[in-house]
Amino acid sequence: MKKMYIVLSDGHVFEGKSFGAYGESLGELVFTTGMVGYIETLTDPSYYGQIVMHTFPLIGNYGMIKKDMESASSVVKGYVVREWCQKPSNFRSEGDIDSFLKENNIVGVYDVDTREITKIIRENGVMNAYLTPDPSLIDKSLLNNYVIRDAVKSVSTQETAVYSAEKQNYKVALIDYGAKMNIIRELNLRGCTVYCLPYNTSAQEILDLNVDGIMLSNGPGDPTENVKPIEELKKLLGKKPIFGICLGHQLMALAAGGKTEKLKYGHRGANQPVKRLSDGRVFITSQNHGYAVIGDSIDKSIGRVSYINANDGTCEGVIYPEINAYTVQFHPEVCSGPLDTKFLFDTFISMMGGNK
């Protein structure tokens, strides 16, 4: 088996072995703590520009399953695991993870101490990394200066797509900043025909669709990079019920005059505790984000923080009663993790008029 190396921007070098595509790759190295859900992780557009590392030691044991994918392909810059299962066993399996990585030209590294690398990131924060067969040949200036750019533009749909509900009660505009397919599935299940729109769709074009509500999707990158989408979102405030998830939560806060910040190493995994401030109840949630809304920046005349992360106190949700909108940082639509917060989709239905 060919050797592969992980070169971190702080100077650490780890020797491993190659799987997936063979070659070099540069990206921002992040870790995720989910024990299951590697298919959803690999196909989540929110990981654009990033090298994904799993803390769970064995990945690939139930193979690859197309129906569980959150998008048609993968946009991760690289993939790092402790061990990958070469002979998956599951009645739904349609292939193995090594073949999937090769098909999507994703460089993979295994047989490295992922625990040690995770400790480094937790202490120093997310950092850039090179995956390479020869660490002596890397361009250190590229490694140090790598920045994820045009993330939303790179993953958003290029044209409007319509996903019809079996029995339509509502029409929902889903602004695609990097949307996961299960957002559409959850809306369809509740009688919503979904118009999946490019990230740069104008406010007037959205209003012309005469939808009952607007959904702001998850997505990758620095939320402040999306200057024009934020300006269009400002024009939609108060016009229709709005529900935002992850990046949609951050963009909504920016449109309403709030601010965001980059976290030291982010929240990624299916075991993040979130506290609802109205009654103190804690939910276990799935998350994938490197930025957060600054709770104190929310204009209290139109919004208030509704959820916080139980580990670090960061903002996990905002409710905007004056403009009939609410947003959450976590993922209520998640397939592979806890289902505790799917009721938020029902809340959105109620905002549009309730069950018909």
Q: What is the pLDDT of residues 121-146, one digit of tens each?
A: 999 999 999 999 999 989 999 999 99
Alpha carbon distance 237, 301 (integer Å): 14
Averaged pLDDT for residues 343-350: 96
Catalytic residue among 54, 249, 289, 331: 331
Task: Decide if 261 is catalytic.
Answer: no
Residue tagged 């040949």 (tokens): 137
Q: Active site includes 205?
A: no
pLDDT digits (tens, 9 = 90+) for 284-343: 999 999 999 999 999 999 999 999 999 999 999 999 999 999 999 999 997 777 888 999
Look-up: residue for tokens 């939609």? 236
Q: Which of 246, 249, 316, 335 is catalytic?
A: 246
Please tell us whether the domain made up of 3-147 is placed in CATH 3.50.30.20. yes
Q: How confident is the model at residue 220 (pLDDT cuts 50, 70, 90)?
A: very high
Residue 35: what pLDDT? 87
pLDDT at 31 over 70: yes
CATH topology of domain 152-351: Rossmann fold (3.40.50)
Over residues 53-70, the mean pLDDT reads: 95
Q: What pLDDT score was predicted for residue 337?
A: 73
pTM of the model: 0.95
51 token code pair: 């090298």
**Residue 196 pLDDT > 60:** yes
| Helix, coil or strand: residue 150 | coil
Is the per-residue pLDDT at 356 higher than 60? no
Domain extents for the chain? 3-147, 152-351
pLDDT at 195 over 60: yes
pLDDT at residue number 80: 98
Residue 333 annotated in active site: yes
Catalytic residue among 28, 186, 232, 333: 333
pLDDT given at position 355: 61
pLDDT at residue 86 in the model: 93
Confidence at residue 232, expressed as pLDDT on a 0 to 100 scale? 98
Task: Take residue 121 and report the two structure tokens written for it.
Answer: 């990131």
- Buried (b) or exposed (e) across 10-43, using 16+ Cβ within 10 A? eeeebebebbbbeebbbbbbbbbebeebbbbbbb
Residue 100 to residue 85: CA distance in whole angstroms? 13
Model confidence at 111: pLDDT above 80: yes
High-pLDDT (> 90) share of the chain, %: 94
